[in-house]
């Protein structure tokens, strides 16, 4: 019971630190103003949104292929 709770707390703390220092990690930090710690430029937004764009493209391709020939796809997958 304790290990999963500590793991979850560690992940939350790590995610916060990653987000708060994102500009430093990506090399897009524009000054040392602590009020702009979460501010991102275009590079930061591209890095954040890229996985969601790839997911949407993958879902669209999967749905289009499934609609065309689902029986052949299942047959190839199971063989």
The residue among 63 and 29 whose pLDDT is bigger is 63
- Do 74 and 62 lie in one domain? The reply is yes
Name residues whose C-beta falls within 8 Å of residue 65's C-beta, 6 or more positions apart in sequence: 73
d(CA 15, CA 19): 6
Mean pLDDT of 57-78: 75
Which residue range is the domain that position 74 belongs to? Answer: 41-79
Each residue's pLDDT tens digit, 22-49: 767 666 666 666 566 666 677 777 877 8
d(CA 33, CA 35): 5
Instruction: Output the pLDDT for position 27.
Output: 65
70 token code pair = 């689902």
Q: Does residue 32 sit in the same domain as residue 51? A: no
Between CA 19 and CA 48 the distance in angstroms is 10
Look over the chain and give the mean of its residue pLDDT values, rounded to a whole number. 77
Residue 33 sits in the same domain as residue 11: yes
**pLDDT at residue 6 tops 90:** yes
- 74 or 7, higher pLDDT: 7
């Amino acid at each position: 019971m304790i290990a999963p709770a500590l793991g979850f707390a560690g992940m939350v703390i790590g995610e916060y630190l990653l987000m708060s220092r994102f500009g430093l990690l990506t090399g897009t930090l524009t000054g040392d103003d602590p009020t702009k710690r979460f501010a991102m430029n275009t590079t930061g937004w591209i890095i954040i949104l890229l996985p969601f764009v790839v997911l949407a493209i993958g879902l669209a391709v999967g749905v289009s292929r499934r609609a065309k020939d689902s029986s052949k796809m299942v047959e190839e997958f199971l063989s």
